[in-house]
């Protein structure tokens, strides 16, 4: 489930973009917004016992969170196959000859390589088709923002080159900060990256993690959720400056009440020209676990006044 508040800066969007946008479900873009912007979403997979579930299609985040709370064995995840990407690209190719495909960080998933393989197959069939694949080196809505802004650029009639540059610009500027009750799920799922040393922290310590150069990193710890949220705001200020104008997405895994506490702090300290509230996709929730709360944002101009 997700919700979004209308972009206060966006102009009227046309009905058809000249450049098609494709990304995967780990972007955590609310589906109504993806549909509104014409973004083609390719599902990741969650493997639970003998079940293979399509991320966000056969299972949602709340259902997965309930399962994780009682599970002894962590589900596994896998990126879309070249065939999955090929299907999505073919759907876009029915209405455009220019496509930008965005994937989560290639350092944490095989999605980038899988998408590239699909593009090569499709180009043999449609040699006039132009497809640019962008490795965002991001995850969650830091990745999602790049896809959203690329889609908006496409809807205003910008060229393939300009749409690609907008995607890369937002991906470079975006930052993810996340906190949870435990790093158990991230550790069990093998996605701990350079935050490995935080695994042994006391139960009452809240770890803060982010992503740098496409790899999960430790951003520190806090002794309570309140202090964790305060530190998250400080990290945001260090990145973009106090009172900065930002576009921000708040992400969570079955933790909407906690998220509201963080949201209140961020809205007080920054000029938020667009706000999105959304669940992390099930494929990401497997690794972060129930209770996770995060923020993904990027700057958008100088403060007014």
pLDDT given at position 72:
80
Q: Which pLDDT value is given to residue 59?
A: 96
Q: What pLDDT does 8 receive?
A: 36
Give ∠ CA 271-257-221 in degrees, rounded to 5.
75
Instruction: Give me the pLDDT at residue 268, please.
Output: 97
* DSSP run (H or E) holding 48: strand 45-48
In this prediction, residue 205 carries a pLDDT of 75
Q: Please, are residues 111 and 134 in contact by the beta-carbon 8 Å criterion?
A: no
pLDDT computed for residue 233 by the predictor: 98
Torsion on CA atoms 142, 26, 61, 196, rounded to nearest 10: -70
Contact 227, 34 (CB under 8 A): no
Residues in the chain: 305
By the 10 Å C-beta count (0-12 exposed, 13-18 middle, 19+ buried), 220 is classed as middle
Tens digit of pLDDT at every position of the chain (305 positions): 455 444 433 433 444 568 999 999 999 999 999 999 999 999 999 999 999 999 999 999 999 999 998 888 889 999 999 999 999 999 999 999 999 999 999 998 999 999 999 999 999 999 999 999 999 999 999 999 999 999 999 999 999 999 999 999 999 999 999 998 665 665 555 554 444 444 444 456 788 999 999 999 989 889 889 999 999 999 999 999 999 999 999 999 999 999 999 999 999 999 999 999 999 999 999 988 899 999 999 999 765 54
Q: What is the pLDDT of residue 101?
A: 98
Domain segments of the chain as ranges: 2-172, 174-299
Q: Kindly write down the DSSP assignment for every residue of 149-169, as one continuous string.
A: HHHHHHHTT--HHHHHHHHHH
The whole model's pTM is what? 0.89
Domain 174-299 CATH (choose: 1.20.1090.10, 3.20.20.70, 3.30.1180.10, 3.30.230.70) = 3.30.1180.10
Tell the burial category of 269 from Cβ atoms under 10 Å away from its Cβ (0-12, 13-18, 19+).
Answer: middle
**Cα dihedral 201, 205, 206, 209 sign:** negative
| Residue 269 CB contacts under 8 Å (≥ 6 apart), including other chains | 233, 236, 237, 242, 243
Reduced 3-state DSSP string for 90-119: HHHHCCCCEEEEEECCCCCCCHHHHHHHHH
d(CA 197, CA 215): 15
Assigned fold of 2-172: Rossmann fold (3.40.50)
d(CA 42, CA 88): 7
Residue whose tokens read 């000029």: 271
Counting DSSP H helices and E strands in the chain, the numbers are 10, 14
Confirm if 279 and 290 have CB atoms less than 8 A apart.
no
Residue 202, pLDDT score: 44
CA separation for the pair 149, 170 (Å, rounded): 7
Render pLDDT for 3-12 as a digit per residue (tens, 0 to 9).
544 443 343 3
Q: Are 274 and 217 in contact (CB under 8 A)?
A: no
Q: Report the distance separating Cα 250 and Cα 292, nearest Å.
A: 11
Tokens of 111: 């999605």
């Amino acid at each position: 489930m997700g919700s979004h508040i209308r972009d206060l800066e966006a102009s009227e969007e046309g009905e058809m973009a000249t450049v098609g946008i494709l990304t995967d479900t780990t972007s955590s873009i609310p589906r109504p917004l993806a549909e509104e912007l014409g973004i083609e979403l390719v599902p990741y997979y969650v493997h639970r016992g003998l079940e293979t579930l399509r991320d966000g299609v056969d299972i949602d985040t709340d259902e997965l969170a309930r399962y994780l709370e009682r599970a002894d064995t962590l589900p596994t995840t896998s990126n879309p196959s070249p065939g999955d990407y090929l299907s999505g690209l073919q759907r876009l190719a029915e209405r455009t000859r220019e496509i930008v495909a965005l994937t989560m960080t290639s350092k944490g998933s095989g999605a980038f390589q899988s998408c590239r393989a699909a593009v090569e197959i499709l180009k043999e069939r449609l040699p006039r088709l132009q497809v640019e694949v962008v490795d965002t080196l991001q995850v969650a809505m830091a990745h999602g923002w790049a896809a959203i802004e690329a889609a908006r650029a496409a809807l205003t009639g910008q060229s393939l080159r300009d749409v690609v540059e907008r995607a890369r610009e937002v991906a470079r500027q975006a930052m993810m900060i996340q906190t949870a009750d435990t790093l158990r799920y991230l550790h069990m799922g093998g996605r701990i990256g350079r935050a490995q040393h935080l695994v042994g922290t006391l139960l009452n310590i809240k770890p803060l993690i982010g992503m740098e150069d496409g790899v999960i990193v430790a951003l520190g710890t806090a002794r309570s959720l309140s202090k964790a949220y305060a530190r998250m705001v400080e990290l945001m200020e260090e990145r973009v400056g106090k009172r900065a104008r930002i576009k921000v997405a708040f992400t969570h895994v079955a933790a909407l009440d906690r998220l509201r506490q963080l949201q209140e702090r961020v809205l007080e300290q920054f000029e938020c020209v667009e706000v999105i509230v959304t669940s992390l996709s099930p494929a990401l929730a497997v690794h972060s676990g129930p209770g996770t709360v995060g923020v993904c944002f990027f700057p958008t101009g100088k403060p007014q006044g």
